[in-house]
A and B are shown apart, each in its own frame.
Chain A
Amino acid sequence: MPTTCDWENSVFKRSIENLGNRTLQAVWRIGFAARFFVAVLLHSGTAFRRFGLTIREMYFTGVLSLIIILVSGLFVGMVLGLQGYETLQTYGAEDALGILVALSLVRELGPVVAALLFASRAGSAITAEIGLMKATEQLSAMEMMAVDPIARVVAPRFWAGVISMPLLAALFSAMGIFGGYLVGVQLIGVDEGAFWSQMKSAVDFEQDILNGVIKSVVFGVAITTIALFEGYDAPPTAEGVSGATTRTVVTSSLAVLALDFILTAFMFRGLN
Chain B
Amino acid sequence: MNRTVLDFWVGLFVVAGIAALLFLALKVGSMNTVGASDSYEVAARFDNIGGLKPRAPIKSAGVVVGRVADIHFDNETYEAVVTLRLDNRYAFPKDTSAAIMTSGLLGEQYVGLEAGGDSRMLKNQDQIFITQSAVVLENLIGRFMYGQAQEGAPQ
Give A residues with C-beta under 8 Å from B: 52, 55-56, 58-59, 62-63, 66, 102, 106, 164, 166-168, 170-171, 173-175, 177, 196, 199-201, 203-209, 213, 271-272
Contact = CB atoms under 8 A, between A and B. Distances in A.
A163 to B, nearest CB: 8
Given A173-B20, A173-B24, A209-B24, A56 B29 contact: no
Contact of A170 (B17, B27, B30): B17
Secondary structure at the B interface, as helix, strand, loop or mixed, is helix
B24 A200 contact: no
B20 A174 contact: yes
Interface in B109-124: none
Interface of B: 1, 3, 6-7, 9-10, 12-14, 16-18, 20-21, 23-25, 27-33, 53-55
Secondary structure at the A interface, as helix, strand, loop or mixed, is helix
Contacts of A59: 1, 6, 9-10, 13
B27 A66 contact: no
Contacts of B21: 166-167, 170, 209, 213
A170 B20 contact: yes
Contact of A63 (B13, B20, B31, B33): B13
A173 B20 CA distance: 8
Contacts of A52: 3
Contact of A56 (B6, B14, B18, B31): B6
Contact of B13 (A62, A166, A174, A207): A62
B10 A58 contact: yes
